[in-house]
Amino acid sequence: MPGPVVTLAEGAAHEAPHAHLAPRPIPEPTGRRVRVVSMRLEDRSGVMQRVTNCIQRRGFRLETCAVGPTPEPGIAGLTLRVDPGYQPPDQVVKQLAKLIDVVSVEDITDTPRVEWTTALVTIDRRGAEAIVDPAVARLDGQILHRDADRVVVAVAGPPAELATRLEALRPLPGADWVCSGPLACAPGQPVTMAGTAASAPPTTQQRGQ
């Protein structure tokens, strides 16, 4: 059974200020087997191809992928959502740990965690300002561009919450958006090679093990 995910905003209206920022486990939808995997790997040519090839060869399904720099020079951070299909869930981490570029890989599905994703939204304003402008204000995002024809807004939040907010925009004229893959971290867990040796859980694999 897949583990908990965390929403940063659910129930915020009934809690003290900033209480919604604490990681909170909530159950995944029944029947889902998706694993959330946090990785650190050497940032060099071909590394993403090797990761995706590993997933494909094993018959896993890659749902989302988000990658970017970390504070460590030459080390990239990667968050994956992977469906192992009918294979044992621990195979995701075990197979990814075999890649030469991997510094550490951890399955954080069963750990209270924070997930966050970003979307860029474009909406046509021509002749519909009275409808579009209030809808943009309700998004609670950052307006990156606005002219007489269109508005572009950056919006961020927990993946499920953000999907609901975006779906409400669908009836608006010319509404379009593109989303990043969710980033995830388990607060209190190590995020670099130097910090993992003493406290890493059994689902963490490091190079050389």
Per-residue model confidence (pLDDT) at position 195: 33
pLDDT at 205: 52
Amino acid 188: pLDDT = 59
* For residue 182, pLDDT beyond 50: yes
Residue 14 pLDDT greater than 70, yes or no: no
Query: Average pLDDT, stretch 29-49?
Result: 83
What superfamily does domain 115-183 belong to in CATH?
ACT-like. Chain A, domain 2 (3.30.70.1150)
Average pLDDT, the chain: 77
Query: Residue 32: its pLDDT value, please?
Result: 58
Give span(s): CATH 3.30.70.1150, the chain: 115-183
The pLDDT of residue 48:
92
Q: Residue 45 and residue 55: Cα distance in Å, rounded?
A: 18
Q: Between residues 21 and 49, which one has the greater pLDDT?
A: 49
189 has a pLDDT exceeding 70: no
Query: What percentage of the chain exceeds 90 in pLDDT?
Result: 38
Q: Is the pLDDT at 201 greater than 50, yes or no?
A: no
Domain 12-113+186-206 has CATH 1.10.3720.10: no
Q: What is the Cα–Cα distance from 10 to 71, expressed in whole angstroms?
A: 30
Q: Is the pLDDT of residue 4 over 60?
A: no
The proportion of the chain whose per-residue pLDDT surpasses 70, expressed as a percent, equals 74
